[in-house]
Every structure is written in structure tokens, then in C-alpha cells.
Chains A and B, each alone.
Chain A
Amino acid sequence: DAKTTQPTSMDCAEGRAANLPCNHSTISGNEYVYWYRQIHSQGPQYIIHGLKNNETNEMASLIITEDRKSSTLILPHATLRDTAVYYCIVRVTTNNNNDMRFGAGTRLTVKP
């Protein structure tokens, strides 16, 4: 069970910001929000993760609501190469199990 809800697909114009939403209303206090993407049939690529605070790196920004029940991944200037399936995953890491569960994700298509 992925524990997250994402739209099936989204389109974005090249050069514009892509905002990908994710609902995780049952998230626990010690669960992180992770984002990965998979371009065509390549291996999933790590994008960003966060616990409570908003995060930013060279790829994207992650905005987590104050109640932590939802988040948004922002690609500030989408390019054609950002076309991929984007996965939002909530997980708590321990030494005893792996709880990384991929759902269906959002298929983002960046159009020229």
C-alpha cells in the first residue's frame, strides 16, 4: 500500500513551473515524504525528500503543508527532459525493514 494519492497524469508547458501534488492524509509524525522519478524505462531517480520543513535542491522544491497531509513537488522551469513518471512515497526508515512502496505515480508530460 503506497499510502499516497497522486493524479494519474499532468501536462506542463516547457519553461513553466510544474507543480505535482501528493496527498498523504494518514502520514505519521516520523514518516518522511520522498519523491522519485522514472524517465521512460530507466532506474528511478531520487529527487528530494523532507520531514516537516520545505526543502529545495538543484532539481526541485518540496512544499509540505503545515499539517503534513499533503505536499507539492515543484520543478521551477520544466524542460522536455523532465517528462517522466513522478512517485511520491511516504516512509519511515528503520534497520529492520524496507517500507519504500511505489504507487502508480503521476505521468508528467512537458510539451513544447
Chain B
Amino acid sequence: NAGVMQNPRHLVRRRGQEARLRCSPMKGHSHVYWYRQLPEEGLKFMVYLQKENIIDESGMPKERFSAEFPKEGPSILRIQQVVRGDSAAYFCASSPISGRAGDTQYFGPGTRLTVL
């Protein structure tokens, strides 16, 4: 039973380039969450998606960041025109389809983005 998959595990980009981070949830999970962890800091929630819908994007920066979870394929977190401050670990989590109270989020291994 494969866990949450993220790729790439490490991504290096130059300032101004685009970064695309992918997340495949656990089998049977249709809720996906993205978090960012800056060096030496805790995890900060960014966005919560269900298939083809953004449910809660209260933690997303207003510019340059976007997320999607299409009907087919992985969830994508896209960062346009990256800056050095975007360097961080980005974690994806997923939870089961029901969304009922007590639902547990399971995390992937993360993508470490380095902006040169």
C-alpha cells in the first residue's frame, strides 16, 4: 500500500524560472493538502484541494503560487518566477474520501526546492 508520493524530491531553479511540484495521494484518498516549511521553521498550511476543486487556499501567497488537483493525475503546486525566498521544503498530505471528523492526514516525503 504505497504512501503519498512526491516528485521530484529535490528541485533546483534559478530566479525567475517556474517550479512544478507533484503529489500523488495515497490510494483511495481524494483530499490533498500542501504545506511549506522554511529552514528551521514549522510547517505552514498553504492549500487544501479535492478533485477539481480548491476548498481552502487561505495559506497560499496571493501571487505566483497556484495549485490544482485534476480529475486524472497528481496534484500540482506551481510557483512562477521563483525567488530565493521560495527555497523551502514543500510537503503534500492526503486524507480519505469521506472527510469525516477525525480524518487523518498522511504526509509525503517532501520536495526540497532550492532557488539559486
Using a CB–CB distance below 8 Å, which chain A residues touch chain B?
30, 32, 34, 36, 38, 41-46, 49, 51, 87, 92-98, 100-105
Contacts and interface: CB of A to CB of B under 8 A. Distances in A.
Contacts of B105: 46, 100
B17 interface: no
Interface of B: 4, 33, 35, 42-45, 48, 55-56, 58, 89, 91, 93, 99-110, 112
B102 A101 contact: no
A105 B99 contact: no
Given A96-B55, A104-B42, A105-B42, A51 B104 contact: no
Kindly list the 7 A-B residue pairs having the minimum CB-CB distance in the complex, ordered from nearest: A43-B107, A98-B48, A102-B43, A97-B56, A95-B99, A102-B42, A44-B107
A55 B101 CA distance: 17
